[in-house]
Structure 1
Amino acid sequence: MTNRDEETNRLGAYLRARRDLVTPEQAGIPAGPNRRVTGLRREEVAMLAGVSADYYLRLERGRDKNPSAQVLAALARVLHLDEVEHQYLLDLAKPSRHARPRRRTERVPARLHHLLAALEVPAFIEGRAFDVLASNPLALALSPRLRPGENRLRSLILDPEEQEFHADWDAATAEFVGSFRKSIGEDTDDAHIVELVGELSLASTRFRALWARHDVRQLEGGTTVVNHPVVGTVHLHRDKLPVGDLTLVMYYADIGSDSAEKLRVLASLATTVANDEASTVTNDEASTAANDEAFHDGLPAHRSGGLPSREG
């Protein structure tokens, strides 16, 4: 099935991908020594779901796009879908909106910027395609890839430093790709998402393999272990809270743990950097003001104390 086919027949693409992942043994079907197919055949799925082989073929090929909830429930059972994957299957079976490719504008309201500044844990705001839209200093101290303008999925897949940063990069990529598919939902025609998926598909065999599985992961919290270049290994909890169409992501450690102390070290470093930057801005502003005053007085700037003289 081509990428174009997947765009126009997402239900069929999902059914095909998921039956390829179910072994005959899992379905209770004798595999036999001469079997060449690793997953389930179409007729086997149809038999186990209690529908005709012809009807299932029409479903997979997109010629029948209105399966009943009962049929979808039977297919979910045969394909060993969990609750999240079953709901995703139901969503795919809904009538298409036929929306044109578009780029949604995602803006962070001022109140969320204030919230980020008040939080004493690494935190950032991300959009539905995992674009970082805003972050606090502690998030940047944890990882420079959490700065606004970065796409977390692109960084994770393509940035070599991310492979070192995540203690279990394989698990992280599987979770990210599944969560990404869940997050974008029906908006596979969004121009930004189409471009991102195309870029990662061309550049990464790992992404291509994961994307072809059609895994769907719930957008929720969890735990992660990262290797920080300054403080070393840090064990973190992650919470993801929806805020309108955006998501607030926070990392924190168990109270009193070694990782909590490491976060305090990073917070101290972040404060130092912020103070240094503020001092630099203040000095630059003072220098600019002095230069402006010297200009209006008709004097060379370096004699006013603004810019240092190279003489002597």
Structure 2
Amino acid sequence: MVPGTASDRLTVIAWPLSSDNGEMSDSGDSLGGFLRSRRARLTPEEVGMVSYGTRRVPGLRREELAQLAGVSLTYYTRLEQGQAMNVSDAVINAIGRVLNLDDDERAHLHTLARPIRRGREPQGPSGGRAGTVRLIEAMTDVPAAVLDRRSDVLAWNRLGHALLACHLDFGISAGRPPNLTRMLFLDDRTRALYPDWEREALRAVASLRLVAGRYPDDRGLAELVGELTVKSPEFASLWADHPIRTCFSGRKRFRHPQAGDMELEFGILHVPDDSWQRIMTYHTIPGSPSDAALRLLSALAHARPALTGPDEATTARQTGERL
């Protein structure tokens, strides 16, 4: 199957979920899709093999990868179809070595090859924990938000809201919280916020792929992926490529409608409990132009309500219902 085709997108929408009896309807899709995407990136010449004849599809063939990894073609085919059980570390590592996987991709391969059923829904409160919310509210000069593993916004402080979603109402609905990934792909104002939108989009999908591998039974996550796949061709194309990346810190450029251009460093802290919640914060280098821009945004955020007029408030509420 060629990534990005209509058939591949239908496979993504039909994300495997546990049935009522606990069995998976199609446990091989994520693992098989990941392996096929990485095989397609390599040529026989890159792994020291001689290519003969005409190839109908790019990349390594199954039999070539199996030969290089030292496993039988039958066994590798079963693995790619999600039918192999008790896969050893040696086999996984051999396949990862042939595919030239980096550390994040290799860890993801281990997760997909030996999935752990963790239940469909996150445990713990549906909103941010009270102590965590109070913590970010105390960070008056630092943009901060509390996210769940799906990147739903459970809470944000005044400056975090002003930075990430000044066009939305500050209040968060428990039934339909803003989702940063959905906003990135489906909301024009959020897209305009990032001058490096393609980079942000790749980072968001790569992170979501990791979460999907770790929590394959999360129905809410499956619904989010299905929605974005249908509504955003850009998301569907990126998702089909199976990007993988662990990202706990880095830099992001913003083109804010109120404070102008700024480059902020971000960090992600995971709450040490079973809620799977994390805190995202942003900061700047003191004295830099970005620091001045962030101070301006802070002054604006604390000097007036998040929304300044009835028309804007109505628009934001309508937009928030979609996001």
TM-score for the superposition, normalised by structure 2: 0.78
Give the C-alpha shift of residue 17 in structure 1: 2.3
Distance in structure 2 (CA, Å) of the matches to 1:106 and 1:184: 19
- The amino acid of 1:217's aligned partner reads R
| 1:231 to 1:98, Cα distance in 2 relative to 1, 3 A | closer
- The amino acid of 1:213's aligned partner reads D
CA RMSD, aligned part only? 2.4
Give the C-alpha shift of residue 43 in structure 1: 1.0
Point out the structure with max Rg over C-alpha: 1
1:230 to 2:249 alignment? no
1:251 to 2:282 alignment? yes
Alignment of 1:15-164 (within 5 A): 15-31=35-51, 34-94=54-114, 96-97=116-117, 99=119, 101-102=120-121, 105-119=125-139, 120-144=141-165, 148=172, 149-164=177-192
1:8 to 2:27 alignment? yes
Give the C-alpha shift of residue 70 in structure 1: 0.5
The higher relative CO (CA closer than 8 Å, separation ≥ 6) is in: 2
Greater displacement, 159-168 / 27-36:
27-36
Pick one of 220, 241, 261 that aligns with 1:192. 220
1:175 to 2:203 alignment? yes
Give the C-alpha shift of residue 276 in structure 1: 10
Gaps of 5+ in 1: 278-312
Distance in structure 2 (CA, Å) of the matches to 1:182 and 1:237: 22
Gaps of 5+ in 2: 1-7, 17-25, 309-323
Give the C-alpha shift of residue 207 in structure 1: 0.9
Classify the secondary structure of the residue corresponding to 1:29: coil
Shift >4 Å, 4+ stretches: 3-7, 30-33, 101-105, 274-277
Aligned partner of 1:166 in structure 2 is 194
Distance in structure 2 (CA, Å) of the matches to 1:163 and 1:95: 34
Pick one of 275, 294, 298 that aligns with 1:263. 294
Aligned partner of 2:249 in structure 1 is 221
- The amino acid of 1:123's aligned partner reads A
State percent identity of aligned pairs.
38
Classify the secondary structure of the residue corresponding to 1:37: coil
- The C-alpha deviation readout for 1:146-185, integer Å capped at 9, x for no partner, is 8542100100011122222111111111100111122344
Aligned partner of 1:292 in structure 2 is none
